[in-house]
Amino acid sequence: MTQRFPAIFLILLASLFILNLVQSSLTELIYDEAYYWYYAQNMDWGFFDHPPMVAFLIKIGSFLFDGELGVRFISCVLSVGTYVVLWLTIDNPKKKDHVVVFFLLLFSTTLLNAYGFFTLPDTPLLFFTALFLWLYKLFLEKPSYLLALAIGVVMAALMYSKYHAVLVIVFVLLSNLKLLREPRAWFAVIIALLCYIPHFVWLYGHDFVSIKYHIYERPNQAYSFSKFTLGYLVNLVAIFGLLFFWVYKALLKTNTTDLFVKALKYLSYGVIIFFFVSSFNRRVQTQWVVVISIPLAILTFNYILENSSSRKWVYRLGLVSLVIMLYARAWLVYKPLFPLRFETHDNTVWVNELKKKSKGVPVIFENSYRRPSMYSFYSGKPSFALNNHMYRKSQYSIDESEKSVQNKRILYVTKYAKSGDIQFLHSDNKTVYFGTFMDNFESFRKLQCIVDTTSVEKEYSLKIYNPYNFDVPLSKLSFSAAFSNAYKQVKDLQTMEVQAVKKDRQIIPARDTLEFRFELPKSKFENPKYFRVGVSENGLLPGLNGIPVKI
């Protein structure tokens, strides 16, 4: 063991693991973690926003531990696993003399540090990227069907972690197109596809809802250099913190000496360029490029092993980063350490206040997939997200959570109202939420509105499918058209009249379709590009029952 892993390596690795376990236990969840915890309550082969790996990790951890540690335990394991795999991938004999620099380099990488305990889709993505590259290195040295099998399974695990993983696979392939003539490489692809079949089946069964949302339905905004492209370049600096100069210097200075180094450079440059081009179309989130942390960690450490001047700077700034990171971690637990509020602060405060004021009834949140999951985690009570035309769909839109509030007395919570039966102040100490009690609540947000885009004499054909196992009376429904601009940002809402083709029909039968016709009302927004049909009930704003239709 000490031949591969020096004693100091094992000591630092154990210390990191313990630190992450303590951090996980003491730090409240962030909203996305609570949302993924919600995924894990009803495991499936896919979810609205992401593949199922993140939910799988939480499910395993929750069997072992309660609370926040249960959500994060497997992330702590994968984090130290990433350090181990990266160490194994680096074969420079000098590395054993610079273990501390290795840990300082990785610990200073901001998102690698954060994903050491936060449980997000990028956590397994980083681990399986490191594992994939290590196996690929072994395959280049001595190809075999056994290694190909392992690579195939890991490629599937990558794709089960996050759809962005396809970039890892594609750019490594582009670095070595001779793999297209390698039977063992095709064997790995076949294994990966076979392992991924359950998710393909899930996507098909859910009408490819995840793909449609990410590619077609996600709102955007007009291009802004400062927000889009400049913001992206700033993110490229931020993910490496104080060491960004030496990381990118290593990328630029490293010569392509073999196929593995070529793969690392192709992956790094490929992801950077891909999202740079994307930044001219939409805002690139920081975590979308976090995968470059893995190949650049290998390139940077190899580079500084041969360059003493750079190594000294990485060591010095790494120590500064260590202090900053530890202080930031403490601040995540104890808010007074820094005059800013983060998502990990005071969630139990607002949840407990709302739980008390709700008097034990289910709470429905308007236009939020984050707050109902956070509320459910800390209150132990069911919750639901009711999204309208001004928001987006989420896992709550496609799962069975609606049943938990159907025909019950509920508390409807929104930040857009001016009054209500109860009110509470959110933990940001700025946003006031109002809640209104409703008896015998009914929701029909799963009704699907399908518009025939071919108009006939200014009329559109509309089919409404009722997926419920009960009839839905037309008398309980009202219809609207939400008009949006070219970026699918809603700018106007107009009520509209719909006429059933069979005029004697008063219901939409269970698991059946009813045909309507309607004239599109005139929008007050000048030159709308899309409209979306919505259905409302209970006097609430209309839901996201249709897809954006180009005008």
In a domain, 399, yes or no: yes
Place of tokens 């991938």: 89
- We report the CATH number of the domain holding residue 504 as 2.60.40
Q: Per the domain annotation, does 307 fall within a domain?
A: yes
User: Which string of DSSP letters, residue by residue, matches 478-498?
Assistant: EEEEEEE-TT--EEEEEEE-E
Question: Do 301 and 164 share a structural domain?
Answer: yes
Domain count, the chain: 3
Name residue 386's beta-bridge partners.
Answer: 366
Place of tokens 């001047």: 309
pLDDT at 457: 63
In a domain, 370, yes or no: yes
Shared domain for 363 and 292, answered yes or no, is no
Regarding whether 481 and 419 lie in a shared domain, the answer is no
Do 418 and 278 belong to one domain?
Answer: no
Quick one: 61 and 82 in the same domain? yes
The dihedral region occupied by 424, where left means phi > 0, alpha psi between -120 and 50, and beta the remainder, is: beta
Q: Which of 438, 464, 492 finishes a domain? A: 438
Do residues 73 and 194 share a domain? yes
Full pLDDT tens readout for the chain, 551 residues: 556 899 999 999 999 999 999 999 999 999 999 999 999 999 999 999 999 999 999 999 999 999 999 999 999 999 999 999 999 999 999 999 999 999 999 999 999 999 999 999 999 999 999 999 999 999 999 999 999 999 999 999 999 999 999 999 999 999 999 999 999 999 999 999 999 999 999 999 999 999 888 877 777 788 889 889 999 999 999 999 999 999 999 999 999 999 999 999 999 999 999 999 999 988 999 999 999 999 999 999 999 999 999 999 999 999 999 999 999 999 999 999 999 999 999 999 999 999 999 999 999 999 999 999 999 999 999 999 999 999 999 999 999 999 999 999 999 999 888 899 999 888 777 789 999 999 999 999 999 999 987 766 678 999 999 999 999 999 999 999 999 999 889 999 999 999 999 888 899 999 999 999 999 999 999 999 999 999 999 888 999 999 999 98
The helix (H) or strand (E) run that includes residue 297 is helix 293-305
- Looking at the structure, do residues 23 and 167 belong to the same domain, yes or no? yes
Query: Are 136 and 13 found together in one domain?
Result: yes
- The CB density around residue 176, as the number of other CB atoms within 10 Å, is 17
Q: pLDDT tens for residues 491-531?
A: 999 999 999 998 888 999 999 999 999 999 999 999 999 99
Structure-token pair, residue 281: 């179309």
CA distance to 23, 331, 345, 377, per residue, from 28 (Å): 9, 12, 7, 11
Q: Are residues 169 and 85 in the same domain?
A: yes
Q: Residue 78 belongs to what domain range?
A: 7-335
φ and ψ at 424, to 5 degrees?
Answer: -150, 155
HEC string of 90-111 equals CCCHHHHHCHHHHHHHHHHCHH
Q: What is the pTM of this model?
A: 0.94
**Whether residue 497 sits in one domain with residue 526:** yes
